[in-house]
Amino acid sequence: MTLAIGLLAGAVFIALSGPLYLRAVVSPRVRPGVALTVWVASAAVVVTGAVTGAVLLVLPHRGAADHLIGMAWTCVNAVHAGGEPVWEHVLRLGAALPVFAATVRTLFVAYRLTRRDAGRRRHHLRLLRALSTAEPDSAVLWLEQATPVAYSLGGRRGAIVATTGVSRLGAAERDAILAHERAHLSGNHHRLVLMADVLARALPFVPLFRAAPPMVRVLVELAADAAAATRCGPGPVRSALRAVSGAGVPAGSLAMSREAVELRLRWLGAARGSRRGRTGYLAAVFAAAAPAMAAVGVVAGLVLLYCLSDGRL
């Protein structure tokens, strides 16, 4: 039971206070990809911790799992030699049922939004391939339009859509635009945005989930800008942001010049280069999970104090 309570406490702490401390990582001093990882991993920790804690609460023979953090199960429940009181079962079910209900609602919303998004994407791609001048299997679909517009569509076979206005830009700007959109596809940014939307629509009363969609949308654009700047230089990316229009871009796509353009221009101006490597991302995952691990430790410590004060250890 100690492990379950610790996981639930950690999930509640991150869900309620996450937006307050996670905004600190959205800074030019932190790589956008690392900041994005912290936000996404924090949401994943909330979901995983809450579901795991709820399962442990109702799972029979919980003692083996509880031994992972010490003798809490034995010392706290030794007094119940004849078995657990009925009220403990009621409390456990009362704590677990809301989590299970939220999980079912989230799965329902995820199914509905994913199906709708996939249907829109397939329909849009059929129209684009009929109108585009590119080969059917090309990763870039070129449309005849003088206004420079570029965006990407996710899915198993993602695609980049660009107008001939983009092809008429300078070579550096054109390469930066395509590098930006390729970064969206390679980083699975469309799925991350969809995940944030699912959690926000399913559980809008959770502060972290409510704050995630706009933040994730900005961070995926900043991450794609950083990837394009690494490949083409920050100057062409800034020029491309000013040249490309985000008007008329379909819902569900990620367009280069639609989200927080002025902020991204400032970030590109403050960029000091992007170091490659996985160390920052591993640190981001650890930072996201740290509050949950700390909550488990605090609960285990309180249980230990109870055991010592009660003379059970």
Residue 67 confidence (pLDDT) above 60 = no
Query: What's the pLDDT at 134?
Result: 65
pLDDT in tens, 249-259: 887 788 877 77
Distance CA 243, CA 39 (A): 30
Residues 265-298 pLDDT 10s: 888 877 555 555 677 888 889 989 999 888 888 8
Q: Specify the DSSP element, H or E, that contains 152.
A: strand 150-153
Domain assignment present for residue 168? The answer is yes
Higher pLDDT: 302 or 166? It is 166
> Given this model, what pLDDT does residue 103 score?
94
68 located within any domain: no
pTM (predicted TM-score): 0.85
Average pLDDT over residues 92-106: 87
**pLDDT tens column, 73-91:** 555 555 444 455 555 666 6
Q: Which of 290, 171, 280 is nearest to 226 (CA)?
A: 280
Residue 69 resides in a domain: no
**Are 185 and 160 a contacting pair, CB within 8 Å?**
yes
Q: What distance in Å separates the CA atoms of residue 134 and residue 222, rounded to the nearest whole number? A: 28
Structural domain span for residue 97: 1-63+84-306
Count up the domains in the chain and report the number.
Answer: 1
Cα gap 222→266, rounded to integer Å: 11
User: Is 79 part of any domain?
Assistant: no
- pLDDT, tens digit, 9 for 90 and up, residues 15-58: 999 999 999 888 888 889 999 999 999 999 999 999 998 888 88
